[in-house]
Structure 1
Amino acid sequence: MRFLSSFLVVSPVAAGFGNLSAIARHNAAESTAHSPDDLAKEARRLRAKARLLRQEAVEAERSLKIYRQNAKDLSDQDADSWIDLLLGNSKTTMAVQVDGGEPAPISIETLAMRIKANNLYSFNKIQKLCRRLYDRETDSMPGSGVLLKDRAEFKLGDENNSVEKKENDSRRIAGLLDRILEAIQSLDDQCNANVASDVRSSIKDLRLSRDALIKRRFESLAAGKEQVSTLDDLVEGSIGKENGKSEAELQKQIAFRRIIDMPLWVPPSLSVLIAKAPTELSVSCLERVKTELLPDSGFFCTSWDYCSTAAVFRGRISLSNETDLIFNGIQSRLQTHPGLRDKVQLFLAEDNEWTGPSSFEDSSKPPGVIIAVPREVIPEHERIRGKTLVAALSVVLTCFTSFVFSLSAYALNGEFFRNVERNDVSAVVPTCLPLALGVLAVSAIHECSHILAARVHKVEMGCPVPLPSLETGTFGSITPLRSFPSDRKAMFDIAISGPLVATLVSFLLIVSGLDLTVTASAQELERFPVISAALVKSSYLVGAAASFISPKLMLLPNAQPFPVHPLFLVGWSGLVSQALNILPIGRLDGGRAAMAVFGRKVSASISFFSILTLVIISFVRSSSLIFFWTAIVATFQRLADLATVDDFSPVDKTRKNIYLILLSVAVLTLWPFPI
């Protein structure tokens, strides 16, 4: 019997697998036998089916919208009746008229008495009532019908629709809403106080989102832009290429529309990357972030908002001085979550829509928010942008300018000049090559320090692209980041490691070169490069070192040539190039460090004024070095760098002091020695 029952169960299953295999073979045979005309006909059929499905989706969405609107109307009727009870059955006014003048607001005591008498202090009733007042407040705002589009203007029994009247109505409704919350909080019940606090936070978030939406749409209208990224446009572009656009063009169009519709809470450092995301975030996925990652994490989520490719979670942090630890705990939860770790990545940033101190934190600093984006959002491999030929040409030019810098340093040496006149390449190249290689070696030390720091913090870096310079041999290198640093501390360590190590090495070379020059014999001096005293006096730091080691050197006239050991020139070139790179501008090492120390908004202002200062100096001092460096920076490096995963938690005072000291060294290097 057991054998028979097993046979009866297994046979249909085996037969089913056999049928599936036969169907798969049949479909494979048919797919290989189809002609191009058959495939085109099938494509047209699928497009027609897609359009039909789209129409069905539109109809279903319309029905759902009507259902929700009906449910909201019923809810609003209840809320309106409660508002009438609080206002003393006055359906058209928000206050009581006094002596025919301005309406006087209903007192908090009266509201508290009416709330208690009518049993209106439950959370659901208060939330519904306050949300209805918020809708009335929004509808009464001037221009809300145009800017918010989906709202009809609310009138308080008066045909006067002037801007002043609307502003007064909106302000009165907002005042009533705030007084209702104060009345609830005044009741002697801790539960009521918590209800009022929660509803107040919710209303505040709604107001912030509303004001930001109005601002975005107003700016869009003022700029003459229209938001055209509708569902029909995207679906029509995705189901066929009848319009003749390639896949790349469609992706660019979608990215452009996403940027136009990008909410203000999206960090600018992420907006372009998010707009190009190949996937979007589902609402269910974001709800799982809110319900499965954030609870009991130390981050109390009070509201959230989302667009197609990002979401923001606002709230408060239980321990403000342990923000980084709390966020790292949330990150650990995400990495071990089987349903979210491959779909979402989280960032901690300042709230861009914050306008003032929150109800729970009296601070001038914007609160932290958690930003969720698709896992596929990664830093662009800028391909410098993918132009290997340009990078190779830059390497060749840097080697050439380093050799030219060395050649110019020996140009005033009598023996070297005679070898040049004799076209003795075998004597010229070996003489210049060590100095050129020394300049490149300092630059290599700079980049190796970056790479080592990046490995410590597990950050991927792109290949450095050197920048040629006739004045110093090289300006340094452009080193792009290929992954998001974990926090501002990691960004600082990676940025500062290169200039810090190279500056120390360069200064030691300057000191060693001056010392070897002072102690050199006459025969050795004849083989040294020859420079003018003005070169030493062009830098306050170099001049100070020379004054200490060789005081007589600083007494020479600016045009007076004198021999110096090659190590001095290697150190001088390295010190100047490091000073230029430590300036707080854009994507320079100094710009990255300034962003980590001062935050993005402050560092952006510092970067702008730094570029402006360089422009002024390049014209006032007629410095070709500053002029060319300003042109390179303003063209390629002026923009802020990538976001860090934790862009909110500040760096410690030690790192801040290190940067300020290094920045002071850079200023002293570029500042001329007083004569």
Structure 2
Amino acid sequence: MWLLLIILGGITYYLAKKTVAPVTRTPIWIIWSVMMMPAAVWTIWYEINGEDQQMPILWIIVPLVICFVLYVWLIRLGKIPASEQTKPTSQDSPTQPINLEKTPQESEIIRPITATEEKSLRDCFPWGVYYLQNLDYRPQAILCRGKLRTAPEKAYQSIKKNIEQVFGDRFLILFQEGLQGKPFFALVPNPWSQNEEQISDNKEKLKRPLFALGLLLLTLLTTTMIGTVSMAGVPQESLNNTPSLLLEGLPYSLGLITILGIHELSHYFTAVRYKIATTLPYFIPIPFFLGTFGAFIQMRSPVPHRKALFDVSVAGPLGGFIITLPLLLWGISLSEIVPLPTAENASLLNVEALDPRFSFLFAILVKLVLGSSFVAGKALHLHPLAVAGYIGLIVTALNLMPVGQLDGGHIVHAMFGQKTGIIVGQLTRILMLVLAMIRPEFLVWAILLWLMPLTDQPALNDVTELDDVRDFIGLFSLVLLIIILLPVPGAVSSWLQM
């Protein structure tokens, strides 16, 4: 539990630095302490009472409510005015969406264009495409409000072309839904506006193949060591005396790196297809726990539209899942059937005696591979390759959570719009908290979801909706999340004789 708390603390501090530090002067370590307080209280409770004891509901709710109120109060106490908040630079991907619907600041209105340029800007809006009614100057943007008179995609492309002919790459042209449901255009200073020499330099900095390769090799080492000792059960003393035993960990390490790598490469190549500036996949090696904290890419330029946002987001989980399936089926075939553990030893982390009935999909896969040999009262001692596939399944589910900046959050945003995405994200966080009360193994997930912002960076054209094929794929990804998390109902378990 304490190891998980330390890991959670590191992730929480990173999220706080990224999302909270730019908007408040309150010391980040104070906000981080408040964010971590519920997890610390729950960890202490489990250390005193044991993990097999059910935590009282008040121990869950009271720390959350108190710390949430403190969290909001501390941020507001040192809130930085919007006009003073840090703007993204060409070296950093903007992680927070610009709230273009905020009320104007009391400070003096900033006019980033001249009267002549304003007239030229008004001429960029043909009345038959988008009837411009007024320009609204904000510290961080020029809002162009009016009435949409044609299809959103056609309007965006037409007006974007007109504005770029007048201003070049001086502004990013955003197209967003307003609070009243009326789409508006916004011109935001373009942090990626550069000369050719700067573009060339940044491309070289973006692609760091030797750094990415070094992290990959280091992660291969750490995961192989963990796979040998923790997954294959080779004693540390034997490994020290016979280094060749390290090969026992390769099924785990190669399987896990393949799954994580395919996930991130699917994101990467889809982003490249849409000409989004993106780093290579970077693995995060650690010498304990799973041997890695996973892998990631960073997109360093805006997403052009909601179709691109959807495609980039859904490519990772689906790509990872497609490679996870055969590896998991292979690993299950190599696993050993063992007696079901006692209640105090039952856990989703107990790979030596894992009850596959915790997941509808996992149970179906086990029954598909092992058939009648797997019956009620039995569990699985997972082969190292099956452990890698099992982790791949969990990673797929976690990424498909429809919250904020997770892949699932992007998918829901692209399908239904940002406002609906925020509502779905909030409902998901509440449902996950309820699930954590029933199954404590999901408590860490619930905490992570509550710490994540509900909003994500909008696409430049955030109005044009998806087509039917993408909507179907999006719904499939949400169904996939449900069947991974949903335990096997009793009736189905009896029917499957497991």
Common topology (TM > 0.5): yes
Q: Give the Cα separation in 1 of the matches to 2:154 and 2:464.
A: 10
Describe how 1:284-299 pairs up with structure 2 within 5 A. Answer: 284=115, 287-295=118-126, 298-299=129-130
| 3-state SS, counterpart of residue 550 of structure 1 | helix
Aligned with 2:136 (options 298, 305, 311): 305
2:172 aligns with 345
Q: Give the Cα separation in 1 of the matches to 2:443 and 2:76.
A: 38
Q: Give the Cα separation in 2 of the matches to 1:501 and 1:341.
A: 37
| 3-state SS, counterpart of residue 419 of structure 2 | helix
For residues 631 and 673 of structure 1, do their structure 2 counterparts lie closer, same or farther at Cα, with a shift above 3 Å needed? same
Mapped pair 1:331 → 2:149: no
Whether the aligned pair in 2 keeps the contact of 1:302 and 1:314 (CA below 8 Å) is yes
1:492 aligns with 310
For residues 563 and 435 of structure 1, do their structure 2 counterparts lie closer, same or farther at Cα, with a shift above 3 Å needed? closer
After TM superposition, give the deviation of residue 294 of structure 1 in Å. Answer: 0.8
Whether the aligned pair in 2 keeps the contact of 1:301 and 1:314 (CA below 8 Å) is yes
Whether the aligned pair in 2 keeps the contact of 1:281 and 1:309 (CA below 8 Å) is no
Mapped pair 1:315 → 2:146: yes
1:138-161 deviation digits (Å, cap 9, x = unpaired)? xxxxxxxxxxxxxxxxxxxxxxxx
Aligned with 2:231 (options 409, 412, 422): 409
Give me the TM-score of the superposition, normalised by structure 2. 0.64
Whether the aligned pair in 1 keeps the contact of 2:351 and 2:381 (CA below 8 Å) is yes
Mapped pair 1:649 → 2:467: no
For residues 289 and 639 of structure 1, do their structure 2 counterparts lie closer, same or farther at Cα, with a shift above 3 Å needed? farther
1:380-402 deviation digits (Å, cap 9, x = unpaired)? x9x9xxxxx9xx99996896367
Q: Give the Cα separation in 1 of the matches to 2:408 and 2:222.
A: 27
Larger RCO of the pair (alpha carbons < 8 Å, separation 6+): 2
| 3-state SS, counterpart of residue 377 of structure 2 | coil
Higher helix share: 1
Identity fraction in percent: 22
For residues 615 and 333 of structure 1, do their structure 2 counterparts lie closer, same or farther at Cα, with a shift above 3 Å needed? same
Mapped pair 1:375 → 2:203: no
Q: Give the Cα separation in 2 of the matches to 1:645 and 1:367.
A: 16
Whether the aligned pair in 2 keeps the contact of 1:269 and 1:640 (CA below 8 Å) is yes
After TM superposition, give the deviation of residue 616 of structure 1 in Å. Answer: 3.3
Q: Give the Cα separation in 2 of the matches to 1:257 and 1:426.
A: 53
1:171-220 deviation digits (Å, cap 9, x = unpaired)? xxxxxxxxxxxxxxxxxxxxxxxxxxxxxxxxxxxxxxxxxxxxxxxxxx
419-428 vs 572-581, greater mean Cα deviation? 419-428
Mapped pair 1:400 → 2:222: yes
| 3-state SS, counterpart of residue 123 of structure 2 | helix
Give me the TM-score of the superposition, normalised by structure 1. 0.49
Q: Give the Cα separation in 2 of the matches to 1:563 and 1:269.
A: 43
| 3-state SS, counterpart of residue 414 of structure 2 | helix
After TM superposition, give the deviation of residue 586 of structure 1 in Å. Answer: 1.1
1:215-255 deviation digits (Å, cap 9, x = unpaired)? xxxxxxxx999x9xxxxxxxxxxxxxxxxxxxxxxxx8883
Mapped pair 1:548 → 2:368: yes
Whether the aligned pair in 2 keeps the contact of 1:300 and 1:315 (CA below 8 Å) is yes
Aligned with 1:665 (options 458, 477, 480): 480
For residues 329 and 444 of structure 1, do their structure 2 counterparts lie closer, same or farther at Cα, with a shift above 3 Å needed? same
| 3-state SS, counterpart of residue 137 of structure 2 | strand
| 3-state SS, counterpart of residue 609 of structure 1 | helix
Whether the aligned pair in 2 keeps the contact of 1:506 and 1:574 (CA below 8 Å) is yes
Q: Give the Cα separation in 2 of the matches to 1:652 and 1:581.
A: 23
For residues 396 and 271 of structure 1, do their structure 2 counterparts lie closer, same or farther at Cα, with a shift above 3 Å needed? farther
After TM superposition, give the deviation of residue 465 of structure 1 in Å. Answer: 5.2
Q: Give the Cα separation in 1 of the matches to 2:85 and 2:252.
A: 53
Mapped pair 1:627 → 2:443: yes
489-498 vs 303-312, greater mean Cα deviation? 303-312
After TM superposition, give the deviation of residue 303 of structure 1 in Å. Answer: 2.5
After TM superposition, give the deviation of residue 371 of structure 1 in Å. Answer: 1.0
2:6 aligns with none
Q: AA paired with 1:627? A: L
Q: Give the Cα separation in 1 of the matches to 2:454 and 2:463.
A: 19
After TM superposition, give the deviation of residue 555 of structure 1 in Å. Answer: 1.3
1:237 aligns with none
2:264 aligns with 447
2:278 aligns with 461
Whether the aligned pair in 2 keeps the contact of 1:467 and 1:477 (CA below 8 Å) is yes
For residues 317 and 442 of structure 1, do their structure 2 counterparts lie closer, same or farther at Cα, with a shift above 3 Å needed? same
After TM superposition, give the deviation of residue 325 of structure 1 in Å. Answer: 1.4
Q: Give the Cα separation in 2 of the matches to 1:224 and 1:420.
A: 54
| 3-state SS, counterpart of residue 534 of structure 1 | coil
1:92 aligns with none
Q: Give the Cα separation in 1 of the matches to 2:240 and 2:250.
A: 16
For residues 586 and 402 of structure 1, do their structure 2 counterparts lie closer, same or farther at Cα, with a shift above 3 Å needed? farther
Q: Give the Cα separation in 1 of the matches to 2:373 and 2:285.
A: 30
1:600 aligns with 418
Describe how 1:147-546 pairs up with structure 2 within 5 A. Answer: 255-256=83-84, 269-271=97-99, 281-284=112-115, 287-295=118-126, 298-319=129-150, 322-335=151-164, 337=165, 339-352=166-179, 354=180, 366-376=181-191, 400=222, 403-404=225-226, 407-411=229-233, 416=234, 420-421=237-238, 423-462=240-279, 464=281, 466=283, 474=292, 476-515=294-333, 531-546=351-366
Q: AA paired with 1:600? A: Q
Whether the aligned pair in 1 keeps the contact of 2:160 and 2:173 (CA below 8 Å) is yes
For residues 671 and 395 of structure 1, do their structure 2 counterparts lie closer, same or farther at Cα, with a shift above 3 Å needed? farther
Q: Give the Cα separation in 2 of the matches to 1:650 and 1:496.
A: 16
1:246-301 deviation digits (Å, cap 9, x = unpaired)? xxxxxx88833899xxxxxxxx82249x99xxx96124266235432112561111
Whether the aligned pair in 1 keeps the contact of 2:359 and 2:484 (CA below 8 Å) is yes
After TM superposition, give the deviation of residue 506 of structure 1 in Å. Answer: 0.4
Aligned with 1:578 (options 389, 396, 402): 396
| 3-state SS, counterpart of residue 142 of structure 2 | strand
1:638-667 deviation digits (Å, cap 9, x = unpaired)? 342222110111112221221211121122
For residues 426 and 258 of structure 1, do their structure 2 counterparts lie closer, same or farther at Cα, with a shift above 3 Å needed? closer
Q: Give the Cα separation in 2 of the matches to 1:611 and 1:401.
A: 31
After TM superposition, give the deviation of residue 561 of structure 1 in Å. Answer: 5.3
Q: Give the Cα separation in 2 of the matches to 1:561 and 1:451.
A: 35
For residues 536 and 286 of structure 1, do their structure 2 counterparts lie closer, same or farther at Cα, with a shift above 3 Å needed? farther
1:106-149 deviation digits (Å, cap 9, x = unpaired)? xxxxxxxxxxxxxxxxxxxxxxxxxxxxxxxxxxxxxxxxxxxx
1:346-379 deviation digits (Å, cap 9, x = unpaired)? 1110113x2xxxxxxxxxxx1211112223378x
After TM superposition, give the deviation of residue 427 of structure 1 in Å. Answer: 3.7
| 3-state SS, counterpart of residue 131 of structure 2 | strand
Select the structure of larger CA radius of gyration: 1
Q: AA paired with 2:460? A: V
Give the aligned length: 375
Q: AA paired with 1:404? A: I
1:588 aligns with 406
Gaps (5+ residues) in structure 1?
1-222, 228-251, 260-267, 355-365, 384-388, 519-529
| 3-state SS, counterpart of residue 555 of structure 1 | coil
For residues 563 and 254 of structure 1, do their structure 2 counterparts lie closer, same or farther at Cα, with a shift above 3 Å needed? closer
For residues 631 and 551 of structure 1, do their structure 2 counterparts lie closer, same or farther at Cα, with a shift above 3 Å needed? same
Q: AA paired with 1:638? A: P
